[in-house]
Chains A and B, each alone.
Chain A
Amino acid sequence: MADLTQFALRRIGQSVVVIWGIITLVFLLRFLTPQDPAALVAPDDASSALVDQIRQDLGLTDPIVIQYFRYLADVAQGDLGFSYGSGVHVNDLILGALPATLELAFAALVFALVISIPLGVLSANRRGTNTDAATNIISLGGLSTPNFWLGIMLILLVPVQLGVLPTGGRVGPTQDLVAWMAHMILPTIALGTYFMALLFRMTRNNVIEELNKEYVRAARAKGLPENIITVRYVLQNSMAPVITVAGLQLGLLIGGSVVVEAVFNWPGIGSLFIQALNTADWPIMQGILIVVGIGYVVINIVVDILNAKLNPQVSLS
């Protein structure tokens, strides 16, 4: 137990360094941009004196070290600054957009898990049959299809050809529960398919590996039904790495949602990021990068520590 606490502390210590690195890198990114923030904040007809004044107010005339420490202090207090374009607080913008993205990522995760794990087990149990071949071909297709193109093909097939389901947009669950779900279906499939294919492959490989172990032979010799062997023993023992990957690749879903949101006009942080990129609104982009980056690091620690706690074989070094 003492080992585990030590491991957790060391892991958290490393992560603090990484989080500091994230904030520093994000600060430097803005510094490298050719655009003058003051010119973006100022109205179009502003005099050069006004632009100078704004530059001073934004603290852009201070030495870079001062600006850096000010930024570090702000972010440490959870203040991500103000949008250049609208003057709205970045925290509010991100908090407004984050639920839509998390909801989509979570739905995609559930979609991927619910389909990939049963299919992976089925495919592994029937290794070498047509079922196995068919599921493998589907997973290869899923791994190889860009999610934005899949989204467009779904729009082409379902709303355009069949006339059901909306082509895009989002309705809040509190407004209309049915419409909320209807709007979620296609983006969820578009975002979750790659992930599903990835988890399918992992499940299949792990189950095959597990099925070849001695204890399975022993259980069979004892006369245990195949179903019980699969569900009780094999599945449980082969799931740990799959769950780890599922947790770690949440970042992949957030990254993927940038394009999927663009396809389906989904008002999440991906859309917010693209909008900000088009108007060089760096505080918004910096805020999103920091939130996503730190979120990833935190999920990583949690998954690592959980894994170490659940699986005593994980070496704590």
Chain B
Amino acid sequence: MIKKRTVQSLKNELRSNPTAIIGVAIFTLLLFGAIFAPILAPHDPTTQYTDRTHQAPLGFGGESEQTQLVDGEMQTVVEDNSGTLNHALGTDANGRDILSRSLYGLRTSLLVAITAMTISLIVGTTFGLVSGYYGGRIDDSIMRFVDVILAFPSLLMALALFGILGPMTVFVPDPFAALGIVEDRPAVTPFPGTVTLAISAVIWVWIARVARAEARQVRNQEYVTAGKTMGMSNFAIIKNHVLPNSLTPILVLGTVQLATIIIIESSLSFLGFSGTTLSLGFDIAFGRDYLSNSWWISSIPGLFIVAAVISINLLGDWFRDALDPDIQGGGGR
């Protein structure tokens, strides 16, 4: 369905555009880190090393005097929290390894983002193409419904849907643990079902709008008229003509929306509505209470989100510059 010409212009743009290369590199690295988290993470993300709490990342921290209650008496003890290679990005207040937690959190984020994007693409493209192709009353009712959903800020709507559905976390067996490739790692990956559904419910409308606009343009092309004259069914025309010719802008918007989804997902888990604790937003919220003595607990998971979103935005710019579809990159958090 994706034309050779499309691939060629993507390649040409990549050659002349260094930021696109940076985007591809960061995204590949993060995707690799997320998929192979069980192998790459140095520790189990849930293990609490109680003797190593608040340990700073490598190159930070040091000795400090702390007042502690020892044997019923207040004593001043010298504590050393300097970073070690064993916990390269430090540990949190419960002694959990931050690098491992961030990799697993990234895994959750990308899993939710890719699933929600797939659902949104399927639903949004279907409704958008039908709406644009048929026009008239079908178009009116679908688009008014889309307008209703667009009137709510995505995050507010997703929160309300979470309130209705509850957490609905699905525990997916981790392939690496199931195959015995790794030991001492969680056997299941929590997949936040509600978050995925709630996000899909607010993102598909953006896709539908673009798909509709494309279908309206394609509808009046001669090859569609020819197809109709030849007696092709509407379904066949949509499948063989309208869809392939609308796909590029839909996929470009989809890429940009992937970034929005990651931000909504982390916002939901930051607010405590996610159904899993293995998430970057949850860790950021957890670290808030320790800003004055352990800055890294909140900062590092956030850097992972920023890196993921930057790389996706760069990919989106690359697609847009290469394919130059005429769309308004809508967002809405």
Residues of A within 8 A of B305 (CB): 146, 149
Within 8 A of B (CB), among A124-165: 140-141, 143-149, 152-153, 155-156, 160
B148 with A140: CB separation less than 8 A: no
Checking B149, B153, B162, B298 against A255 with a beta-carbon cut-off of 8 angstroms, the contacting residue is: B153
CA distance A148 to B288 in the complex (A): 11
CA distance A153 to B301 in the complex (A): 12
Checking A21, A160, A256, A294 against B333 with a beta-carbon cut-off of 8 angstroms, the contacting residue is: A256
Residues of A within 8 A of B154 (CB): 255
Checking B145, B148, B267, B291 against A259 with a beta-carbon cut-off of 8 angstroms, the contacting residue is: B267
Question: Given A145-B306, A148-B284, A152-B288, does the pair A18, B151 have CB atoms closer than 8 Å?
Answer: yes
Within 8 A of B (CB), among A264-301: 273-274, 277, 280, 282, 285, 288-289, 292-294, 296-297
Question: Given A155-B291, A251-B332, does the pair A21, B270 have CB atoms closer than 8 Å?
Answer: no
B291 with A144: CB separation less than 8 A: no
Residues of B within 8 A of A273 (CB): 156, 159
Contact bitstring B290-314, A, C-beta under 8 A = 1, else 0: 0110010011001001100110011
User: What residue of chain A has the Cβ atom nearest to residue B328's Cβ?
Assistant: A245
B160 with A34: CB separation less than 8 A: no
B155 within 8 A of A: yes
Checking B148, B155, B287, B310 against A144 with a beta-carbon cut-off of 8 angstroms, the contacting residue is: B310
B313 with A33: CB separation less than 8 A: no
Checking B148, B164, B302, B313 against A143 with a beta-carbon cut-off of 8 angstroms, the contacting residue is: B313
Checking B152, B292, B302, B332 against A293 with a beta-carbon cut-off of 8 angstroms, the contacting residue is: B152
B166 with A152: CB separation less than 8 A: no
B59 within 8 A of A: no
B164 with A33: CB separation less than 8 A: yes
B259 with A144: CB separation less than 8 A: yes
A251 with B299: CB separation less than 8 A: no
Residues of A within 8 A of B160 (CB): 29, 277, 285, 289
A17 within 8 A of B: yes
CA distance A263 to B153 in the complex (A): 18
Residues of B within 8 A of A297 (CB): 147, 151
Question: Given A148-B267, A155-B291, A156-B291, does the pair A255, B332 have CB atoms closer than 8 Å?
Answer: yes
B332 with A252: CB separation less than 8 A: yes
A32 within 8 A of B: yes
B3 within 8 A of A: no
A162: min CB distance to chain B, Å: 12
Question: Given A156-B291, A160-B292, does the pair A149, B332 have CB atoms closer than 8 Å?
Answer: no
CA distance A18 to B314 in the complex (A): 35
A267: min CB distance to chain B, Å: 16
User: What residue of chain B has the Cβ atom nearest to residue A269's Cβ?
Assistant: B156
A255 with B155: CB separation less than 8 A: yes
Residues of A within 8 A of B288 (CB): 152, 263
B27 within 8 A of A: no
B173 within 8 A of A: no
Query: By the criterion of a CB under 8 Å from any partner CB, how many residues of chain B are at the interface?
Result: 45
CA distance A215 to B292 in the complex (A): 57
Q: Which of A149, A254, A294, A296 has the most CB of B within 10 A?
A: A149
Within 8 A of A (CB), among B122-148: 144-145, 147-148
User: What residue of chain A has the Cβ atom nearest to residue B267's Cβ?
Assistant: A259
CA distance A141 to B302 in the complex (A): 12
B82: min CB distance to chain A, Å: 20
CA distance A254 to B155 in the complex (A): 10
Residues of A within 8 A of B284 (CB): 148-149, 152
User: What residue of chain B has the Cβ atom nearest to residue A198's Cβ?
Assistant: B331
B263 within 8 A of A: yes
A196: min CB distance to chain B, Å: 14
B302 with A149: CB separation less than 8 A: yes
CA distance A25 to B149 in the complex (A): 9
A22 with B155: CB separation less than 8 A: no
CA distance A249 to B162 in the complex (A): 24
A61 within 8 A of B: no
B163 with A21: CB separation less than 8 A: no
B163 with A251: CB separation less than 8 A: no
Interface residues of B (CB under 8 A from A): 144-145, 147-149, 151-157, 159-164, 166, 259, 263, 266-267, 270-271, 273, 281, 284, 287-288, 291-292, 295, 298-299, 302, 305-306, 309-310, 313-314, 331-333
Interface residues of A (CB under 8 A from B): 14, 17-18, 21-22, 25, 29, 32-34, 140-141, 143-149, 152-153, 155-156, 160, 194, 198, 249, 251-252, 254-256, 258-259, 262-263, 273-274, 277, 280, 282, 285, 288-289, 292-294, 296-297
Beyond contacts A263-B288, A277-B160, A293-B148: 7 other A-B pairs, Cβ-Cβ < 8 A, are: A140-B310, A145-B306, A147-B333, A156-B291, A251-B153, A258-B153, A288-B156
- A–B complex contacts, Cβ < 8 Å, 28 sampled: A17-B144, A18-B144, A25-B148, A29-B161, A144-B259, A144-B313, A148-B281, A148-B284, A152-B298, A156-B291, A160-B291, A160-B292, A254-B153, A255-B156, A256-B153, A256-B333, A258-B156, A258-B267, A259-B267, A259-B270, A274-B271, A277-B163, A285-B160, A285-B163, A292-B153, A293-B148, A293-B152, A296-B151
Closest 3 CB pairs of A and B: A255-B153, A21-B148, A149-B302
